[in-house]
Structure 1
Amino acid sequence: MAKIICLECGKSFEHLGSHLRRMHDMSGDEYREAHALPRGLPLASDSYRETRRQILAQSIATGAMTRPDQADLVEAARAAGRPGKTPSDKERHRKIMQALRPGDHSLLPDGACRANGRDAVREREYQRAYRAKRNGDPSDMDAWVAKYRG
């Protein structure tokens, strides 16, 4: 069973919430901030969360847990989406990515082949032409067809 290691004391737990309050007198948010962890990072192991999810789903399915506004709450939760990264998380991630892959890491160099063996430049030109055509401008696609198939 997977566990989470407390970065304060090094002990492992299925759920850090009560441990942090009792032993280190800190909240989950304070813990994340102290160790520069992303805001959305769960403080419970995957197996613990899955078990809780199953128990909750079973309670709802059997009618043991209901609320008059439950449908509205479910819809609001689905519409809310996930929280975005904090500015500090974005900056930290940007620095990590720059260190790992400097420059424009999304473009292969001219003359390189993609994993499927096709020419990277030709594929990139096709993607741009296809997007332009889909957005109502077929001229780029016509030019691509003339260049490579014409």
Structure 2
Amino acid sequence: MIIEQEAMLPILEQRSESAVMTITNLRIWFLLILVTAGCSSASREAAMWRASVDNGDKPGIGIELTRHAGALSGRMLLLDPNRPHDFGAGRPFPMQIRQSTETEIRFAVAWPPTLHEELILKLNSPLGSSGVRGTLSDADGTGRSEEYEFTQTR
């Protein structure tokens, strides 16, 4: 019986080494999967579109829309009259998006000091296509509407 156990010892040691190698290999594969998944999600950059209107000697209005991982966000900007299309010189105000489809975005924006607007941006085609134009108007239909031409910046 002791001879049989001694004869089995090398086989058991091989199985033990094999199990350790399998666990090690699984850990390596798991780490590779994590690294690969992290790289692919980090490489998915947000897409951004911008449009602005020059109001002469009054501040211009800029619209910035961002789509990241399917979610839409945006900002309205008060632009410097001396730099009417310079978003870097603008003062941003976040959009509070209420509802959006491929061609219509309903949102609110709070302007200083106490103006709160509910607005609708209607697009002639979905973001991502070329030549996207939009019409910005009050949600209640009062006031005038303004036309914007969007350019994808990234």
Fold match (TM-score > 0.5): no
Q: TM-score, normalised by structure 1?
A: 0.23
More helix by share: 1
Return the TM-score normalized by structure 2: 0.22
Q: Which one has the bigger strand percentage?
A: 2
